[in-house]
Structure 1
């Protein structure tokens, strides 16, 4: 019998999964259900098998998606035994600063954070609820994107608002922590000369942020109270003058739902280009809006990288990770060109592996 861990990343329209060996973290199977809520489709691969498996689903909710994943594992496993199911949860708030075994009380507390991550948290929790119903024999473990930043100095946590608001949770949390924690681990294992150095990590994808990593610890990051702040992203605006939001509400008569939809789903690279949020499409396009969006993105990443350098008192290296960071060489080059004034800064590309980080946390909790 092979002990295994199942890692789930549940979004609004997709459920990504990866089954790993409990002892070595070797991938056993991986894939996703896409089109949840519309025309759901399951696709997966098994280790050592060249052909991919793909099939439409009769039902398209999160329960059906997880049923498809579990059925696939049941049909194709080699006597695997699931020891735990690790879930990515975007927001842990003030209370959850380490991964935890999910209980009904934990799930209730995480539900209170939905307003802080409306695009992510409800679907993360839907995945956990489905898992508890359908695979209750294995403990559910929540791993938080905010946890890696939880020990920031108050200088990097506060907004310039009254203390009462800070005490009520209006503060900077930061996100993509599982990705940054993995990068810190890789640097420690493969580049000990940089493990204790001042490194800006650029997690660039449809969601994007930067982290000031000093001595392997998060010092500062670009996202704030929500995953909307900081860099422009695929469809998210990034930082915007708060007065612009009150203008939309007061002068243009928008309601909060329209503001939220516009800033989360219609802005960023998509809004700037008027074309797409996919960098591959923008790089291949001759449209002026596509070029402008990419130039704007590179400018903002470079500006925020300089901010992270200030937070650390200098910079020794920059690490690119995430879908854009790893694959869009022209975007990396445009960012680095704007940072040449900082002098000799080593640039690295390290693949993201949030799934491995989550599996490491899950095994530690199982064994404790």
Structure 2
């Protein structure tokens, strides 16, 4: 007698030069496979760990574009499955704009709407959507589901969404959206599960990695956050500037003669920890460096995280806990200590570290959406 096929979910996080993926069993959300493709655009390599297998899989890919990388991931799933049926491909999409407040099954109309948002997230959105286009071609039997990093912040009070601009511009979508929502939603989920006493409390969540932001959360909802209309605002990041005087951008263009593309490249690719230090965008490399500018970059980062933490405490009328997550937040204890050393004026509050798991959050969303 033929065994019934096991429905599975393929969760994707597609970047400019990498694809991270996990395969979840749809009913239990057990992880069946996890891996990544790195070096897209140069020398691509796929690595993966299949649950229960002794050795990981490592394969060099002959071609290095997103289509061939996606094809390799699908082929790996087909080769190593155990009676799996790919029910859905679940995509992280950074910007959902004002229209998307919850995960959706992607249709051609929705894909066109998401493409129109690409200028608001130029580092991420085009690659996110390339992943959707590739999966539609390579796994057309599966549904494509989009989960949005902006959705968690969609119900912030208008007081925290607005820029001080004329209403006509705000009505055209020039407003604050916030990002890293899937990470913050996972933290809210984990607080309910592990610390229900804090789930209703005033929590500042710190997603600190190559991309970095903070979120004020209360009762599992986003109250305020540091990122704005794009994923460029707020904290300094690996290569992104964070908040900068808008007049400085005008100066770069009018006086220094930079065009819009040059300014965009500067603010997204050459700034942040990389620009401050002149050494690296990687926090581990900065911590290992003897260069005084590396230490300066770390101090600057810690100062800005502390300043914005205090700002978000004001947004909630106080703080009961500061929760760290992300690569820096989870692993750089000296950076956490440097941040906390600048916050004695906030009084007593708990400090927690909760590992990020945006992929599991996306799988939970997909399971609920599929019913």
* TM-score of the pair, normalised by structure 1: 0.99
CA distance in 1, matches of 2:306, 2:313: 11
**Structure 1 position 209 matched with structure 2 position 213:** yes
CA distance in 1, matches of 2:315, 2:52: 45
**Structure 1 position 235 matched with structure 2 position 221:** no
**Structure 1 position 132 matched with structure 2 position 136:** yes
CA distance in 1, matches of 2:364, 2:140: 21
CA distance in 2, matches of 1:66, 1:72: 10
CA distance in 2, matches of 1:237, 1:205: 14
**Structure 1 position 268 matched with structure 2 position 291:** no
Q: Which residues in structure 2 correspond to 1:19-98 (within 5 Å)?
A: 19-98=23-102
> Could you list the per-position Cα deviations for residues 86-114 of structure 1 after superposition, in whole angstroms to 9, with x for gaps in the alignment?
10000000111111000000000000000
**Structure 1 position 353 matched with structure 2 position 362:** no
CA distance in 2, matches of 1:58, 1:31: 18
Q: Indicate which of 122, 127, 146 corresponds to 1:142.
A: 146
**Structure 1 position 109 matched with structure 2 position 113:** yes
Unpaired stretches in structure 1, ≥5 consecutive residues: none
CA distance in 2, matches of 1:171, 1:190: 34
CA distance in 2, matches of 1:329, 1:24: 34
Matched with 1:252 is 256
CA distance in 2, matches of 1:208, 1:45: 28
CA distance in 1, matches of 2:88, 2:366: 7
CA distance in 2, matches of 1:335, 1:25: 35
Deviation at 1:2, TM superposition (A): 2.1
Deviation at 1:329, TM superposition (A): 0.5
> Could you list the per-position Cα deviations for residues 146-194 of structure 1 after superposition, in whole angstroms to 9, with x for gaps in the alignment?
0000011111000001111100010000000000001001001110100
CA distance in 2, matches of 1:288, 1:49: 46
**Structure 1 position 10 matched with structure 2 position 14:** yes
> Could you list the per-position Cα deviations for residues 279-320 of structure 1 after superposition, in whole angstroms to 9, with x for gaps in the alignment?
111111111011000000000000000000000000000000
CA distance in 2, matches of 1:229, 1:51: 42
> Could you list the per-position Cα deviations for residues 218-263 of structure 1 after superposition, in whole angstroms to 9, with x for gaps in the alignment?
0000000000000000000000000000000100110000000000
Deviation at 1:38, TM superposition (A): 1.5
Tell me the SS of whatever aligns to 1:211: strand
**Structure 1 position 296 matched with structure 2 position 300:** yes
* TM-score of the pair, normalised by structure 2: 0.98
Aligned length: 367
Q: Indicate which of 272, 287, 290 corresponds to 1:283.
A: 287
Tell me the SS of whatever aligns to 1:69: helix
CA distance in 2, matches of 1:55, 1:266: 32
Unpaired stretches in structure 2, ≥5 consecutive residues: none
